[in-house]
């Protein structure tokens, strides 16, 4: 009897334990494949079950989206999570509500070799780790282009370059299907200046009978250090739908070959390294006849144009002028035009020229050495010397002073009439006539000087005030340019020194700084020139506070000396008065 009761009880316990086991929480990880090639994507399915406590009191508040997720972030950094999706289902087991959750992840391997998807946890359940093998290259016996839904092509216009020489990089992305989203990385390198060349272009192209959509981008690269330029891989990730409407994941990467970067050749003789495919000098503004009058204003514009260089790399154009010709340069203007072939940059310098004395003046030749990257040789951009003929001032500029009516000097007609008698006949001594003549001339000269001096003293206030305001304005611009390390600093320095020290007619900023005889100021200005126009073109930090303070001291010392001169007594006899 006992045995008969024990057998049905054992069966009941087994069935109960099985039901309880089916209700227990569990987590399973299932990749769609355990071996794939570089650039391919693995689909990881994670399934979990859990008992749900649903009754009448919480039926309407229950939300499946509130259920926890497995800690999928553990797969990073070996895998990148491209997308994630989940779905839920509920079934009844022995009058209990059991929830079944399925998560689907698209994972992109970050490297080749054997990668491990670690054990994931979901509530009290833990999955088993899974090993994925990622093989380098493309699947065997398949063409790399036709076998893939997307791929990248990289092309450069040169196999090797000089430091700071332009290298044009072309990036082409090929993809099939209807692209929903995509992310194509940009080239980057810490020791290179990279400029995009316009907007990307899109077109179609066939490869091995397959039609692809192509996105093309171009970049201009300027390596800043000699050695080897190694760019990180260009990567693409996206989603598209194929012809059947199925969602597919696109992922690819491509790396450019290493580019040797050569140092500046020892045979280059210039102060500023200029590697370009073309560099020209031009000028405008001077009269065709090259003949002007003293005091006439001229405007001379010098332009330096380079193909394959950014405008910031162009040095100031030498614009020395001879004595007798004053130059007032404006701030240089820089511009850059981007085309599919690269950069074309222009530096324009405009100066106002004023001849101050007549004669023939020679505008010296301008010669800028540069390196022709097409012929791999040094070339020169040249502006030939020009001779400027300066005539005297216009006749209207010198008007004779009319004698005062009270002057006892005889009229012209009386002086030109022949004397009817000789001095011996008149009986008057000759020295008396000469004394009267010289005395009259001296009196007329004194009256004319007094009238001119009175006019000049009354009109002198306005020009001096205007010159002072101009000097102050130019000095403020100079200090701002120095503090920011602007390329306009040397031109502003030359302009301010000519205003602050009139009469010296400085032709270059270096000449003006040498006039100060200050070693500290000369050293600080040399640091500025090294920062702006170093041949190596290395980008370094700049602090213009020291140079700005030294110029403030120079200006303050000059102002005190000027004040002492203005407060001194005028000379007893004017220097331009002669008897």
Same fold yes or no, 150-262 and 277-395: yes
Adjacent-strand bridge partners of 42: 107
Delimit the domains of the chain by residue range. Answer: 23-56+64-135, 150-262, 277-395, 462-567
Question: Yes or no: is domain 277-395 CATH 1.10.3470?
Answer: no
Burial 382-415 (b: 16+ CB within 10 A, else e): ebeeeebebeeeeeeeeeeeeeeeeeebeeeeee
d(CA 328, CA 351): 5
pLDDT tens for residues 190-248? 999 999 998 999 999 988 788 899 999 999 999 999 999 999 999 998 888 877 777 88
Residue 436 scores a pLDDT above 60: no
d(CA 543, CA 312): 19
Per mean pLDDT, which of 96-110, 173-187, 509-523 is the most reliable? 173-187
**Structure tokens given for 378:** 């040094």
Mean pLDDT over each residue of the chain, to the nearest integer = 77
Per mean pLDDT, which of 60-74, 401-415, 486-500 is the most reliable? 486-500
Is the Cβ–Cβ distance between 107 and 44 less than 8 Å?
A: yes
pTM given for the model:
0.55
Say what percent of the chain tops pLDDT 70: 72
**Structure tokens given for 106:** 């698209």
Please state the rounded mean pLDDT for residues 327-351: 94
pLDDT tens for residues 74-120? 998 899 888 888 887 777 767 677 778 888 888 888 888 999 999 98
Question: Yes or no: is domain 150-262 CATH 2.60.40?
Answer: yes
The CATH architecture of the domain made up of 23-56+64-135 is: Sandwich (2.60)
């Amino acid at each position: 009897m006992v045995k008969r009761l024990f057998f049905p009880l054992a069966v009941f316990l087994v069935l109960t334990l099985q039901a309880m086991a089916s209700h227990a929480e569990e987590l399973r990880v299932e990749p769609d494949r355990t071996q794939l090639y570089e650039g391919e994507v693995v689909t990881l399915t994670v399934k979990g079950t859990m008992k749900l406590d649903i009754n009448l009191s919480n039926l309407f508040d229950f939300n499946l989206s509130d259920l926890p997720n497995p800690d999928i972030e553990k797969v990073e950094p070996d895998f990148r999570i491209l997308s994630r999706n989940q779905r839920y289902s509920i079934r009844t087991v022995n009058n209990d509500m059991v929830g079944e959750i399925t998560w689907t992840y698209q994972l992109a391997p970050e490297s080749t070799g054997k990668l491990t998807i670690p054990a994931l946890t979901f509530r009290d359940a833990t999955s088993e780790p899974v090993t994925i093998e990622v093989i380098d290259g493309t699947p065997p016996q398949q063409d790399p282009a036709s076998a893939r839904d997307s791929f990248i092509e990289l092309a450069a216009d040169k196999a090797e370059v000089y430091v700071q020489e332009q290298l044009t990089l072309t990036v082409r992305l090929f993809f099939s299907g209807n692209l929903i989203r995509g992310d194509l990385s940009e080239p980057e390198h810490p020791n290179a200046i990279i400029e995009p060349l316009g907007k990307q272009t899109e077109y179609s192209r066939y490869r091995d009978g397959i039609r692809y959509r192509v996105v093309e981008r171009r970049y201009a690269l300027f390596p800043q250090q000699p050695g080897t330029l190694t760019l990180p891989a260009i990567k693409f990730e996206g989603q598209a739908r194929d012809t059947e409407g199925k969602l597919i994941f696109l992922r690819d990467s491509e790396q450019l070959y290493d580019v040797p970067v050569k140092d500046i050749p020892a045979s280059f003789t210039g102060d500023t390294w200029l590697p370009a495919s073309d560099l020209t000098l031009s000028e405008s503004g001077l009269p065709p006849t090259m003949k002007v009058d003293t005091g006439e204003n001229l405007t001379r514009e010098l332009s330096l144009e380079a193909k394959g260089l950014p405008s910031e790399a162009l040095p100031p154009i030498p614009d020395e002028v001879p004595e007798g010709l004053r130059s007032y340069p404006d701030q240089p203007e820089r511009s850059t035009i981007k085309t599919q072939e690269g950069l074309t940059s222009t530096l324009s310098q405009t100066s106002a020229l004023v001849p101050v004395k007549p004669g023939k003046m020679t505008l010296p030749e301008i010669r800028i050495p540069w390196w022709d990257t097409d012929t791999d040789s040094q070339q020169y951009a040249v502006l030939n010397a020009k001779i400027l003929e300066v005539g005297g001032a216009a006749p209207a500029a010198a008007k004779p002073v009319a004698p005062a009516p009270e002057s006892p000097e005889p009229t012209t007609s009386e002086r030109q009439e022949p004397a009817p008698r000789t001095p011996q006949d008149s009986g008057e001594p000759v020295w008396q006539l000469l004394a009267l003549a010289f005395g009259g001339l001296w009196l007329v000269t004194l009256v004319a000087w007094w009238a001119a001096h009175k006019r000049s003293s009354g009109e002198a206030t306005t020009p001096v005030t205007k010159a002072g305001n101009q000097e102050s304005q130019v000095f403020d611009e100079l200090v701002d340019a120095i503090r920011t390390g602007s390329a306009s600093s040397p031109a502003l320095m030359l302009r301010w020194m000519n205003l602050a020290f009139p009469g010296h007619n400085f032709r270059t900023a270096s000449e003006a700084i040498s006039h100060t005889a200050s070693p500290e100021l000369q050293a600080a200005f040399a640091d500025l020139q090294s920062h702006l126009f170093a041949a190596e073109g290395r980008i370094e930090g700049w602090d213009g506070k020291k140079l700005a303070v030294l110029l403030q001291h120079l200006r303050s010392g000059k102002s005190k000396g000027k004040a002492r001169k203005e407060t001194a007594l005028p000379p007893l006899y004017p220097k331009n008065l002669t008897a």
